């Protein structure tokens, strides 16, 4: 595309970010409501374009996990609109003043939340990201540049048309949301050089994409390489809860990064739990099991687990199983193989659950609940723009507040420094 220039787009986004930063909450909410309506009203056109992507994806041999993330149905589009309306209902963090305190010399010092500026999203499949990331950035007063993958280009551009229609109708700079129409790798390379105009890069997709972005960016990057989520069945577990949570966390949506990939079972409960787990996993989805030598006989057709299995993100109906001889062994295993995403303990012993929470420092740690709740929407953030496992700036699912920063503000009455 000879007339397309990343540096020009980034500069326009920077200018538009100043417009976005000045919108008040009412203006932003009106925009988002109209965007949700526009997406619903254009459902047929979006699905038609999405069908082109699905057809091309199958011809390219995309994995089932990738195709699952790519497909848009009428229900899926309604879910996108619903997610945007949930963002409308969230409190706008921009302009909030916190920690206002009086200093001995009479000045008052506080911190105010402000937008980050320009966010660049680089993502694979997931056309819903186009709409939901745009909505989160608008609500938090940022401009956003969206670079989706070639596998979703028709879907992304169809959704972008809806966004731009609404921005134009409200006489707002359409570069508040920019969707890159070029899916070549050189575009990413150029995008990652725009450190003068882009403030943060958020990659969403496979580990290869995220490592490439992290290693080649001149701009700060929010990192989330993969989701190796662990389920630990403690010796004081309620077996009914344990089986239900295992099945839900593994089989409901195995292509999601918050699905279980490894289950650890305390040896004291293994003889009771493993037969139940084997039966339930087979009935739910005929899950392929990679089992340790102490658990393999409980599973029909299981393979002996290797160390690679305990660091694998299967994103499929597959799971690794290991029997551990103590609570501390379970903690050690998780700390060795963690991806810092989500870890779960099933236990009726409060003190052991509290130890688990204290000793595991993944971005989300749960007690007696499915890892599938490790999601911005389920955690009360509205839609999430990404997940951070890199601890700096944000950690875990990222919502509105994670798209802002703080500036110091000072109120005085003529004070001067002696």
Question: What burial class does residue 285 get, using C-beta atoms within 10 Å of its C-beta: 0-12 exposed, 13-18 middle, 19+ buried?
Answer: middle
Q: Look at residues 263, 257, 371, 374 and name the one whose alpha carbon lies nearest to residue 316.
A: 257
Summarize pLDDT for 57-68 with one digit per residue, the tens. 999 999 887 888
- Residue 415, burial from CB neighbour count under 10 angstroms (0-12, 13-18, 19+): exposed
Distances (CA, A) of 259 to 79, 124, 317, 373: 20, 18, 10, 10
C-alpha dist (Å) from residue 342 to 230, 257, 268, 397, 402: 7, 9, 24, 10, 18
Give the integer Cα–Cα distance in Å for 348 and 236.
Answer: 6
Number of H helices, E strands in the chain: 13, 16
Tokens of 276: 């139940």
d(CA 179, CA 131): 11
pTM: 0.89
Mean pLDDT along residues 399-406: 95
Question: Which domains are assigned to the chain?
Answer: 6-223+394-410 (3.40.605.10), 229-378 (3.40.309.10)
**Contact indicator for 53, 239 with CB cutoff of 8 Å:** no
The answer, yes or no, to whether residue 135 has pLDDT greater than 80, is yes
- The strand pair at 404-411 and 118-123 is best described as unpaired
Under the banding of pLDDT at 50, 70 and 90, the label for residue 1 is very low
- Beta bridge partner(s), residue 232: 264, 345
Pairing of strands 386-388, 396-398: antiparallel
Those residues with Cβ within 8 angstroms of residue 292's Cβ, 6 or more apart along the chain or in another chain = 304, 305, 321, 322, 323
pLDDT digits (tens, 9 = 90+) for 264-320: 999 999 999 999 999 999 999 999 999 999 999 999 999 999 999 999 999 999 999
Q: Which residues pair with 262 in a beta bridge?
A: 230, 320
Q: Is the pLDDT of residue 3 over 60?
A: no
Contact criterion met (CB below 8 Å) for 199 and 118: yes
Return the half-sphere exposure (C-beta side, CA atoms, 13 A cut-off) of residue 180. 27
φ, ψ of residue 121 to 5 degrees: the values are -105, 130
Q: Quote the percentage of the chain above a pLDDT of 90.
A: 89
Could you tell me where the beta strands, DSSP code E, fall in 134-220?
Answer: 143-147, 177-179, 200-204
Check: CB of residue 133 under 8 Å from CB of residue 158: no
* pLDDT score for 169: 97
Residue carrying the six token digits 């009455």: 413
Alpha-carbon distance of 409 to 103, in angstroms, equals 13
Q: Which residues pair with 410 in a beta bridge?
A: 109
CA–CA distances in Å: residue 40 to residues 55, 76, 176: 23, 10, 21
Q: What is the pLDDT of residue 383?
A: 77
pLDDT at 224: 84
Q: pLDDT category, 126, cuts 50, 70, 90? A: confident
How much of the chain exceeds pLDDT 70, in percent?
A: 99
**Is residue 97's pLDDT more than 90?**
yes
| pLDDT greater than 90 at residue 322 | yes
Whether the predicted pLDDT of 2 surpasses 50: no
Q: Give the contacts of 171 (CB within 8 A, at least 6 positions apart).
A: none
Mean pLDDT value across the chain: 95
pLDDT of residue 181 exceeding 70? yes
pLDDT digits (tens, 9 = 90+) for 7-42: 999 999 999 999 999 999 999 999 999 999 999 999
**pLDDT tens sequence across 184-228:** 999 999 999 999 999 999 998 888 899 999 999 999 999 888 899
């Amino acid at each position: 595309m000879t007339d397309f220039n990343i540096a020009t787009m980034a500069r326009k986004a920077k200018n538009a970010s100043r417009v976005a930063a000045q919108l008040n909450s009412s203006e932003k909410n009106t925009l988002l409501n109209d965007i949700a309506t526009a997406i619903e009203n254009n459902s047929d056109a979006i699905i038609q374009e999405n069908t082109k992507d699905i057809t091309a994806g199958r011809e390219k041999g995309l994995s089932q996990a990738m195709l699952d993330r790519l497909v848009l149905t009428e229900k899926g589009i309604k879910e996108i609109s619903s997610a945007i309306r949930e963002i409308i209902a969230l409190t706008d963090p921009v302009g909030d003043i916190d920690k206002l305190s009086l200093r001995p010399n009479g000045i008052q010092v506080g911190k105010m939340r402000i937008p980050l500026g320009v966010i660049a999203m680089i993502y694979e499949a997931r056309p819903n990201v186009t709409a939901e990331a745009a909505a989160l950035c608008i609500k938090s007063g940022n401009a956003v540049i969206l670079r989706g993958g070639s596998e979703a280009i028709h879907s992304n551009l169809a959704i972008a048309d809806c966004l731009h229609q609404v921005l134009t109708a409200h006489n707002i700079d359409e570069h508040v949301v920019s969707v890159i129409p070029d899916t070549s790798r050189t575009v990413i390379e150029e995008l990652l050089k725009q450190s003068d105009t882009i403030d943060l890069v958020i990659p969403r997709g496979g580990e290869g994409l995220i490592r490439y972005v992290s290693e080649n960016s001149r701009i700060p990057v929010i990192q989330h390489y993969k989701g190796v989520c662990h389920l630990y069945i403690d010796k004081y577990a309620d077996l009914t809860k344990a089986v239900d949570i295992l099945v839900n966390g593994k089989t409901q949506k195995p292509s999601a990064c918050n699905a279980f990939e490894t289950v650890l079972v305390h040896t004291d409960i293994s003889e009771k739990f493993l037969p139940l787990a084997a039966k339930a996993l087979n009935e739910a989805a005929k899950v392929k099991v990679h089992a340790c030598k102490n658990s393999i006989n409980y599973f029909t057709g299981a393979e002996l687990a290797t160390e690679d299995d305990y660091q694998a993100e299967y994103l499929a109906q597959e799971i690794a199983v290991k029997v551990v001889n103590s609570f501390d062994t379970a903690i050690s295993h998780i700390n060795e193989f963690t991806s810092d995403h989500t870890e779960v303990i099933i236990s009726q012993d409060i003190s052991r659950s509290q130890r688990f929470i204290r000793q595991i420092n993944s971005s989300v740690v749960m007690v007696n609940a499915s890892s599938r709740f490790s999601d911005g929407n389920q955690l009360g953030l509205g839609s999430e723009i990404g997940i951070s496992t890199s601890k700096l700036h944000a950690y875990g699912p990222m919502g509105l507040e994670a798209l802002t920063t703080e500036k110091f503000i000072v109120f005085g009455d003529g004070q001067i420094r002696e």
